[in-house]
């Protein structure tokens, strides 16, 4: 079952897009996501896909074109990174507020300034409240799989929200690794045709999109949008289950690795989870009770489930590859701790690490030092420092 | 295509609509409906067409922001569409023949 | 713990170290291995020192950091020996493979006391003889496969014939030269 291949995370995204064969792709190149439209445009040139490829003049236009296309009744996709995503900002909200399930591959990169092209999560974390569903991916495989599930999730009638599939720029986007691809016909069967209920180019029942929404109505629309994001959780689980049936690869809202009897656990996103698994294995060999929780679904945030999963630990380090610059910890940290608080889970000691900003490599030793600190906290119950920068030079 | 608002849109537009009944993302399923919104009552000054003075030069027609100067099948202008005229007075200014009077709106 | 073979490549932008890294990942993949192949991430400039990495294993590799303690190092350009600490972290059980006309013994001084195996290969001569031009990456690939022994010589060459047939389908005349370059480099690598 499946096709054994090897390719980079960017190529995996482009291949997923090829197999999805969307109606419209509008994109503007920016490192490290450039390869996605680059690979994809060769599929367009070769006639492998039927997609209308729009080589726009900016990311602002890329998202505008996607919004227009999606409103017209098309499946629209794009890819970007860092400042490209930032330039899309106002349109991100228009896509979600207009309930248009555009799909975007975010190849995570640090936001300038100072200028940096390497990986962290400051781009997608800035967009975490833009009303987009956000899925994070540890590997090329997970990025590919998340991409294939994105349309089913976003286009579901109870959701109708845009979806952002994130993976780490360079670390997975430019690394060749093994991957198992799915056959074209299986994907076609799984994703199905896009049949929007209302769309601009419906000659029988045309609509108007994007009206002025004043005081009497805007608030009600936001309530609907908020509910759609809540609904997304069940839809994601449902789609993920169906995906597992055809691929044998099952995902949840988050992955738990060696957590069952763990005393200390790390919570983090994307590629560093792989390094953390390696460290967990090594420490387990020494009899240390450590584990990992890797959120896949960050928006909607799985409040109940994650709080429940964390309740069994004595100490927890939530690691953020983006600083919120709020003097109160990174975005994942504040979401995790607030989830725990509202579920009444106050026993575990929780600390925050900001790590890997601007592509600073995260070594197995770095992760090990976090676990050592956590095990110490688990033993003594004493926390020296809640907010930490992992491995920054003194 | 002159249609009224369908029930879905009528419900949505109600200022007391529940979030359960409002259309998704503000989509309007009976588009092209601007004509249904009567803006004539915004008017404080009112243009009055003096037919005898009018030479049918039609300079007034293109300057009207609200398409409130009506043209008949023969291509001649007829009286104002007072349901939509907001009384801006541009037509009054542009008329070379003083064929449009501008008076205070009064009941 | 799973044994992962870790290889670090040192080259200069434009010499094809990244391509050689990708080719090595490819051949290891084709023999059924789990692989990683990635460049050191940054803007690439012609002539500037660059680093690339491979991990090869019989089981899935999860680590996503750079390689600090490689089993093998490949140096595509011996002028880098003066400016880059190429043996940093290199396992003494492993080896360093250097593209040079010099003998292994002549290079020890430049290797900061590295006690492991030093292998050399004259990739320039092999490339010019077989391909008519200087493409160091193909001979370096042959040399590192030989030195690491990560796969059988014949299986490797057979696989490369297939791979070149695919890669050079538009100019089949270069296939023989490339295969010859691989064969020669596997025979001529010194210091084994």
Q: What CATH number does residue A296 fall under? A: 3.40.50.920
Assess whether A215 and A294 both reside in one domain. Answer: no
Domain annotation for chain B: domains and CATH numbers: 1-37 (no CATH), 38-107 (3.30.70.20)
Mutate which of A200, A211, A229 to disrupt the B interface (most B C-beta within 10 Å)?
A: A211
DSSP string for C3-24: -EEEEEEEEETTSSHHHHHHHH
Q: Are strands C95-99 and C117-121 parallel, antiparallel or unpaired?
A: parallel
| CB contact (8 A) between residue B19 and residue A220 | yes
State the Cα–Cα distance between residues A72 and A64, nearest whole angstrom.
12
Residues C103/C190, Cβ–Cβ less than 8 Å: yes
Query: Can you tell me the mean pLDDT for C178-184?
Result: 95
Assess whether A23 and A119 both reside in one domain. Answer: yes
- Give the global pTM: 0.93
**A197, A225, A247 - which closes a domain:** A247
Task: From first to last of the 394 residues of chain A, give the pLDDT tens digit.
Answer: 699 999 999 999 999 999 999 999 999 999 999 999 999 999 999 999 999 999 999 999 999 999 999 999 999 999 999 999 999 999 999 999 999 999 999 999 999 999 999 999 999 999 999 999 999 999 999 999 999 999 999 999 999 999 999 999 999 999 999 999 999 999 999 999 999 999 999 999 999 999 999 999 999 999 999 999 999 999 999 999 999 999 999 999 999 999 999 999 999 999 999 999 999 999 999 999 999 999 999 999 999 999 999 999 999 999 999 999 999 999 999 999 999 999 999 999 999 999 999 999 999 999 999 999 999 999 999 999 999 999 999 9
| CB contact (8 A) between residue C62 and residue A178 | no
DSSP string for A9-30: HHHHHHHHHHHH--SEEEE---
Q: How far is A93 from chain B (nearest CA, A)?
A: 11
Whether A394 is covered by a domain: the verdict is: no
How many domains does chain A fold into? 2
Assess whether A216 and A307 both reside in one domain. Answer: no
Is residue C40 within 8 angstroms of chain A, CB to CB?
no
Q: What CATH number does residue A77 fall under? A: 3.40.50.970
Of the pLDDT bands very low, low, confident and very high (cuts 50, 70, 90), residue C163 is confident
- Residue A214 burial by CB count (10 A; 0-12/13-18/19+): exposed, middle or buried? exposed
- In the stretch 188-217 of chain A, residues with CB closer than 8 A to chain B read 198, 205-211, 213, 216-217
Chains B and A touch (3+ CB pairs under 8 A): yes
Query: Which of A176, A278, A285 is the closest to C63 by Cβ?
Result: A278
pLDDT tens-place string over residues C70-120: 999 999 999 999 999 999 999 999 999 999 999 999 998 889 889 999 999
Assess whether A207 and A222 both reside in one domain. Answer: yes
Assess whether A70 and A207 both reside in one domain. Answer: yes
pLDDT tens-place string over residues C21-45: 999 999 999 989 999 999 987 666 7
Domain range holding A10? 3-247
Whole-Å CA distances, A347 to A264, A313, A383: 13, 8, 13
Q: Which residues, in sequence order, are bridge partners of residue A352?
A: A318, A387
- Spell out which residues of chain A touch residue C41, defining contact as CB-CB under 8 Å: 32, 117-119, 169-171, 174, 359
Assess whether A238 and A259 both reside in one domain. Answer: no
Whether A217 is covered by a domain: the verdict is: yes
Q: How far is A236 from chain B (nearest CA, A)?
A: 20
State the Cα–Cα distance between residues A75 and A20, nearest whole angstrom.
9
Q: Cβ atoms within 10 A of the Cβ of A349, count?
A: 19
| CB contact (8 A) between residue A171 and residue C41 | yes
Assess whether A232 and A310 both reside in one domain. Answer: no
A153 half-sphere exposure, CB direction, 13 A CA radius: 33
The CATH code that applies to domain C4-188 is 3.40.920.10
Which residue, chain included where needed, has tokens 């809640």?
A: A386
């Amino acid at each position: 079952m499946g096709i054994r291949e090897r390719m980079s995370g960017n190529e995996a995204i482009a291949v997923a897009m090829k197999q999805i064969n969307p109606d419209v792709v509008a994109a503007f190149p920016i490192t490290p996501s450039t390869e996605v439209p680059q690979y994809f445009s060769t599929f367009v040139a070769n006639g492998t896909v039927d997609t209308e490829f729009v080589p726009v003049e900016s990311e602002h236009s890329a998202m505008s074109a996607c919004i227009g296309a999606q409103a017209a009744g098309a499946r629209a996709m794009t890819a970007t990174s860092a400042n490209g995503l930032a330039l899309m900002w106002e349109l991100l909200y228009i896509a979600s507020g207009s309930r248009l399930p555009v799909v975007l591959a975010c190849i995570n990169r640090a936001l300038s300034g100072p200028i940096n092209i390497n990986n962290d999560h400051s781009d997608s974390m800035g967009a975490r409240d833009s009303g987009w569903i956000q899925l994070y991916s540890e590997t090329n495989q997970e990025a590919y799989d998340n991409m294939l599930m994105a349309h089913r999730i976003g286009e579901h009638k109870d959701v109708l929200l845009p979806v952002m599939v994130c993976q780490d720029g360079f670390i997975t986007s430019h690394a060749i690794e093994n991957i198992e691809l799915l056959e074209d016909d299986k994907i076609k069967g799984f994703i199905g045709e896009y049949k929007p209920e209302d769309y601009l180019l419906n000659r029988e029942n045309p609509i108007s999109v994007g009206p002025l929404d004043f005081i009497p109505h805007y608030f009600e629309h936001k309530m609907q949008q908020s509910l759609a994001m809540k609904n997304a959780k069940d839809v994601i689980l449902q789609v993920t289950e169906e995906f597992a049936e055809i691929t044998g690869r099952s995902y949840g809202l988050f992955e738990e690795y060696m957590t069952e009897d763990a005393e200390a656990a790390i919570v983090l996103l994307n590629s560093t989870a792989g390094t953390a698994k390696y460290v967990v294995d090594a420490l387990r060999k020494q009899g240390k009770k450590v584990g990992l929780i890797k959120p896949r679904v960050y928006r909607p945030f799985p409040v109940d489930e994650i709080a429940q999963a964390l309740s069994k630990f004595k100490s927890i380090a939530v690691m953020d590859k983006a600083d919120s610059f709020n003097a109160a910890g990174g975005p994942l940290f504040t979401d995790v701790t607030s989830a725990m608080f509202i579920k009444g889970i106050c026993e575990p000691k929780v600390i925050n690490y900001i790590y890997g900003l601007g592509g600073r490599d995260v070594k197995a030793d770095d992760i090990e030092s976090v676990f050592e600190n956590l095990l110490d906290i688990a033993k003594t119950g004493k926390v020296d420092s809640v907010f930490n920068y992992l491995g920054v030079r003194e | 295509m002159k249609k009224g608002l369908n029930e879905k849109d009528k419900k949505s537009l109600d200022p007391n609509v529940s979030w359960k009944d409002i259309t998704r993302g503000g989509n309007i399923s009976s588009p092209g409906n601007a004509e249904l919104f009567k803006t004539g009552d915004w008017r404080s000054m009112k243009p009055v067409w003096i037919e005898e003075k009018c030479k049918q030069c039609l300079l007034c027609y293109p300057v009207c922001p609200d398409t409130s100067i009506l043209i008949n099948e023969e291509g001649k202008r007829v009286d104002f569409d007072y349901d939509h005229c907001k009384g801006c007075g541009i037509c009054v200014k542009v008329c070379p023949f003083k064929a449009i009077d501008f008076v205070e709106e009064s009941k | 713990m799973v044994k992962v073979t870790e290889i670090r490549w040192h080259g200069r932008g434009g010499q094809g170290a990244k391509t050689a890294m990708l080719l090595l990942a490819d051949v290891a993949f084709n023999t059924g291995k789990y692989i990683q192949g990635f460049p050191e991430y940054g803007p690439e400039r012609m002539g500037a020192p660059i680093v690339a990495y491979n991990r090869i294993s019989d089981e899935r590799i999860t680590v996503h950091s750079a390689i600090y303690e490689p089993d093998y190092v490949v140096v595509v350009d011996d002028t880098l020996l003066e400016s880059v600490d190429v043996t940093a972290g290199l396992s003494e059980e492993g080896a360093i493979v250097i593209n040079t006309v010099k003998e292994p013994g002549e290079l020890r001084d430049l290797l900061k006391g590295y006690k492991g195996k030093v292998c050399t290969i004259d990739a320039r001569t092999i490339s010019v003889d077989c391909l008519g031009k200087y493409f160091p990456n193909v001979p370096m690939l042959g040399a590192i496969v030989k030195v690491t022994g990560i796969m059988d010589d014949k299986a490797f060459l057979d696989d490369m014939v297939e791979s070149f047939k695919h890669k050079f389908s538009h100019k089949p005349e270069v296939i023989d030269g490339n295969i010859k370059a691989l064969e020669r480099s596997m025979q001529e690598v010194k210091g084994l």
